[in-house]
Amino acid sequence: MQGRKGVWLKLPLDQSEFVPIAVKEGFRYHHAEEEYVMLTYWIPEGPSMLPANASHLVGVGGFVVNENNEVLVVQEKHCAPALSGVWKLPTGFILESEEIFEGAVREVKEETGVDTEFVEVIAFRHAHCVAFDKSDLFFICMLRPLTSKIEIDDLEIQAA
């Protein structure tokens, strides 16, 4: 391992019995995905210079206004009690390798059944210590409706 300063150890689920052994040898957790856990080991003395785990989640909201200046809003089915009954924009997290505008269009379609097209990003915010103590980037996209029939997602949405 000449010239190496750090070691990345990716263990799939079917090899998870090696995690305690690696930790005992000095490896530290870096991150986990559905099918594996990633551990790291910094060889030199001093603090590790390996990059940290992902620091942000990225959320999107769809601001859909029809030709009558009506805004498409929803009520979440599963939310904190303080937010029960609150009307809000259709929102969600973008998927891995998904563009921000694609995520906004997808979330509106999934939650309301309304087809839309992207117009522009109209707002964004950056907040810290949100879900899982990660920072959060949230983008609101102006979307033009292509259809008007609302078909709510019974799993996520109470009303639209």
For residue 155, what is the DSSP state?
A: T
Residue 10's SS3 state is strand
Measured CA to CA, the distance from residue 60 to residue 135 in angstroms comes to 14
Q: Concatenated DSSP letters for 59-101? A: EEEEEEB-TT-PBP-BEESS--GGGTT--B--EEEPPTT--HH
Residue 64: per-residue pLDDT? 98
**Phi-psi sector, 3: left (phi>0), alpha (psi -120 to 50), beta:** left
- The pLDDT tens digits for 119-150 are 999 999 999 988 778 899 999 999 999 999 99
- The pLDDT tens digits for 5-30 are 999 999 999 999 999 999 999 999 99
Residue 1: per-residue pLDDT? 60
* Architecture of the domain spanning 56-159: Alpha-Beta Complex (3.90)
Q: What value does the mean pLDDT take over residues 52-76?
A: 94
Nearest alpha-carbon partner for 112 in 137, 75, 69, 58: 75
Residue 18's SS3 state is helix
Where do the CATH 3.90.79.10 domains begin and end in the chain?
Answer: 56-159
Average model confidence (pLDDT) across the chain? 93
Task: Retrieve residue 138's tokens.
Answer: 């949230």
